[in-house]
Structures are given as structure tokens and as C-alpha cells.
Structure 1
Amino acid sequence: MPDISLTTLVVLCIAAAAAGWIDAVVGGGGLLLLPALLLGLPNTGAAHVLGTNKAVAIVGTTGAAVTYVRKAPVQVKTAVRIGLAALAGSMTGAFFAAGISSDVLRPVIMVVLLAVAAFVLLRPSFGTADAADRRRVTRSRTIAAVVLVGGGIGFYDGLFGPGTGTFLVLALTAVLHLDLLTASATAKIVNVCTNAGALAMFAYQGTVLWQLAALMAVFNLAGGMAGARMALSRGSGFVRGVLLVVVFSLVAKLGFDQWNA
């Protein structure tokens, strides 16, 4: 583990807990966790930062997924099919991640966040129960979810990672007409698979800071399970509100960092 001050370690653990909570509610905890790791480990290569991020995130995501499956109406078979495609995609993306520079991550994350914010704001009924029930999901839509949502977003998760959970929630809502709460629950199962595939590749390449990841993972797990319980008790409207707050807060933070870089 690199030489890290106690203050930095505490901040990283707090960020891991907050990221776990955000990821469980609406996805996209990596949009907080990855920038925190980039700032806390400025002299560490991008591949090691991405690998450590995956080792932390998979623990919280798994805890949230278990909580959701026990209490939310999740179609586990559909989630697993999408997840298997996502696992293959994430391993492929992680294979190419070693060549990525840390300098390109911040602007990419900003563009992704702005796109998410615009989509949610322009579709007020997106993710509501009424909108989700309007159309029956066809077999072709299910296949599209497996190939495009699983494979495509899985590849992105292995290559970059930040925002994967949010993209999964949005894509599952749009393609399978799920409400935001059910989409968030389903996304957790898929996200476990994408994290597992990417982590396996990063571990094989030796780009995971295991000691740091193990400590942060404890806080990420606590945040993830707390977030899942809160989302289940408050419903889709709460999830939508958290999504918008998180997106705009992170855009502002990353924009400030980029401006002062």
C-alpha cells in the first residue's frame, strides 16, 4: 500500500461509505469513489486506481444486491442473464484499461454526468410506476437488454467504471420499462457481475491495492446496505431526487477541479 496520511485514509473511508450509499440508491457510487481515489493517490497510476476502486465497489454492491433481492420485486433470471453478458464485457474493458491516463478520466466523467442529468430532467415521467406499466416488455427488448445493456455497459465498466450503476438504472428503465426502484434493484445484480469481471482482470494484472481496498470495502458495505434499505422504504420518487442531487453536485466538483488543474 502506498504511503498515505491518516487524514487522507479517513477521507477515503468516508468517501467509500458515501459512495456505497449512493450506489445502492441510484447507482453511480464510482462517480464519487473514483475521483476520491484519484485525489487521494495522486502519484498512483490509473490502472491501480481503477483496480482498487473495483475491489472496494464489489463489496458494497454485493451487500446492496442481497438486501434488494430479499425485499424488492426483482426478476433475478433476467438480471443474471444481463449480468453474464456484463461480466464478459467488463473483463474485455478492463483488459484495455491499463493504457488509460488519469488525465482523461475527469473530462470523460463530466460529459457522462451532464448527459445523465439532461436525460432525467427532460423526461419528468421517467422511472415512475405509471410510465413503467404502459407497455409490455417483448422478447426482443429482453434480448436487447442482455446484449446492449449487459455487454455495452459492462465494457464501459471495465474500461472506466464511474456511473455504471446509474447507466444501468437508466437503461433498464428505458428498455425494460421498470420503475426506478425495481431498476435500481436489478442493476445491483448486474453491477456485481461487471465488478467481478473487471476485478478478475485487474487482479490478474496485479493492479489492485488490496490492503487499502479491504479497509475501504468495510465502509462501502455499510453504506451500501443502509442505502438499499432507505431506497426500499421511500420508493422511486426518492431515488429520482437523489439521482439529480448527486449528478449536479459531482458535475460542480469535477468542473471546479478541472478549471483549477
Structure 2
Amino acid sequence: MELSFELLSMLFFVAIAASFIDAMAGGGGMLTLPALLAAGVPPTQALATNKLQSAFGSFSASWYFVRKGIVNLKEMRLAIFCTFLGSAAGAEVVQYIDANLLTSLIPILLVVISLYFLLMPKTRQHEGKARLSETLFAFLVGGGVGFYDGFFGPGTGSIFTVCFVVFANLSLVEATAKTKVLNFTSNIGALLFFIIAGLPIWELGLVMALGGVIGARLGARVVVTKGQKWIRPLVIVMSMLMASKLLWQQHQDYFYALLG
């Protein structure tokens, strides 16, 4: 595909906005992945390129939280390991799915995830006793959500954050910080397999990565609790709009027939 200056500029700014959102509330991939698809990138390459750019943004946010002492990496070793394995497995599985099926599946998954964010209860602000042991959390949440991130990806950060709050009873700030570490882990796990398969579009991914680093650093500095009030509605609206656009592109002949 031809990478014009206008296209690269647009995706650069999409990456800034998405990483800014992702650093605070997750869901940045719900903007970048549909944007890549709308730009004409084939589905599997779009997933791979999205992983390339998001790895830089998630690293930027993770490093910020680790440097501030909010995250202790030694305490997260098992969760990091399980997330890496799950993500690598998801990235391997997705390469064997027919591209046409994947193209049809992505808008449906976007709608489902949007409904999840719309209907999920608000996260709490207090800490308490964990509902899952660290080992069980690592295998179930780290491995399971990691697999989803390698297979599809959008919304992974928000799902991780909700799991940390609900099952580990962490405060929202600590949950968001630990989420970025696991998000970076799953990005790297999937990206390695995508690189081996030669799928990322490097020029496009690196331009978006630069925007991702900028957006993630800005987002990590914003007070998480205040950001939640408008970030979640924004992610829901944008993902629904993108899903609607993709469905229209895929089935416009059918819609025209319905309209007479």
C-alpha cells in the first residue's frame, strides 16, 4: 500500500490520542486498529502493525509508573510470564484464521467490547483483600487476557484494569499502573511472533510508535480518577463509530438493497 504524508500524519495523531487514552483507561487499540483497517491495511497486518506501535506506548507508560515506584516488577514476575505466553499463543492462532473471516469478526468484537464498557460497573477507589491468589490471577487473568491481546487486542488495557480492581482489589491508580506493565508484556509477546511472520508494516508502525510514546507519557501524568469520567464514554462512542464504518464498508451493497 502507498504511505502518503497525509496518511502517516493522520495515523500519527490517532496514535497520540489513542495512547493518551490507553495510559489512563485502556482501550487505545479501539481507535488505532480500526483506523489502520480504514486506511486499507489488511487485517492480519493491521493487527501486527498495531502491536508494533502500541508496544512503544505501553513501554513509555510502564516505565513512568515503575520510575515513580507505583509498580514493583518483582511482585509481578509470574503474571508477566503468563501474560507473555498467552499473548504469544494468541498471535500464533490468529495467523491461521482466514482474512475474510477476521475482517468480518473485528467489527462484531468491537461492538461486543463497547457494550462491555457501557454496561460494566464503575471501578472502585479502595483497596482490600484479593479475591484471587497471585498464582491464580497470573494464570487466569494474565494468560487469558494475554491470549486475547495476541489474538485481537482492542480494550485489553481496560479489561486488565477491571480485573485488577475486581479480583485483586487494587486502587484504580495501582491497577492502571500494573495494567500497563502487562499490556507491554502482551504487546511484546505477540509482536515477536508477528515479526517472525514478517507481518508488521515498519514505516507505518514506527511513525505511529512515535505518536504513541508522546501520548502515553502525557496520559500517564494525568490524574486517573478524573480521566475516567470522560475517557470511557469517548472509547465507547469511537469504537461504535469505527465498527459501524467497517460494517458499512463490508456490507454496503446489502444495506443499499434493504433501502430499496
TM-score normalised by the shorter chain: which range applies?
0.7 to 0.9
2:19/2:216 contact within 8 Å kept: yes
Q: 1:34 corresponds to which residue? A: 33
Q: Secondary structure at the match of 1:136?
A: coil
Work out the percentage of aligned pairs sharing the same amino acid: 30
Q: 1:62 corresponds to which residue? A: 59
Q: Separation in 2 of the partners of 1:77 and 1:258?
A: 44
Bigger drift between 57-66 and 236-245 goes to: 236-245
Aligned pair count reads 246
Distance change in 2, residues 1:84/1:39 (3 Å): same
5+ long unaligned stretches in structure 2:
251-260
5+ long unaligned stretches in structure 1:
none
Q: 2:154 corresponds to which residue? A: 162
1:58/1:195 contact within 8 Å kept: yes
* 1:99 aligned onto 2:96: yes
Q: 2:258 corresponds to which residue? A: none
Deviation string, structure 1 residues 189-223 (Cα, Å, up to 9, x no partner): 11111001000000011111112111111111101
Deviation string, structure 1 residues 69-111 (Cα, Å, up to 9, x no partner): 2225324333332121010000000001123422211111110
Structure 1-normalised TM-score?
A: 0.88
Structure 2-normalised TM-score?
A: 0.88
* 1:136 aligned onto 2:129: yes
1:55/1:213 contact within 8 Å kept: yes
Choose the corresponding residue for 1:242, options 219, 231, 242.
231
Choose the corresponding residue for 1:48, options 45, 48, 66.
45
Bigger drift between 161-170 and 236-245 goes to: 236-245
Q: How does 1:79-228 map to 2 (within 5 A)?
A: 79-100=76-97, 101-119=102-120, 123-124=121-122, 126-129=123-126, 133=127, 135-137=128-130, 140-228=132-220
Tell me the CA shift for residue 176 of structure 1: 0.3
2:24/2:224 contact within 8 Å kept: no
C-alpha root-mean-square deviation of aligned residues, in Å? 1.8
1:20/1:57 contact within 8 Å kept: yes
Bigger drift between 159-168 and 98-107 goes to: 98-107
AA matched with 2:87: S
Q: Separation in 1 of the partners of 2:68 and 2:138?
A: 24
Distance change in 2, residues 1:256/1:36 (3 Å): closer
2:25/2:224 contact within 8 Å kept: no
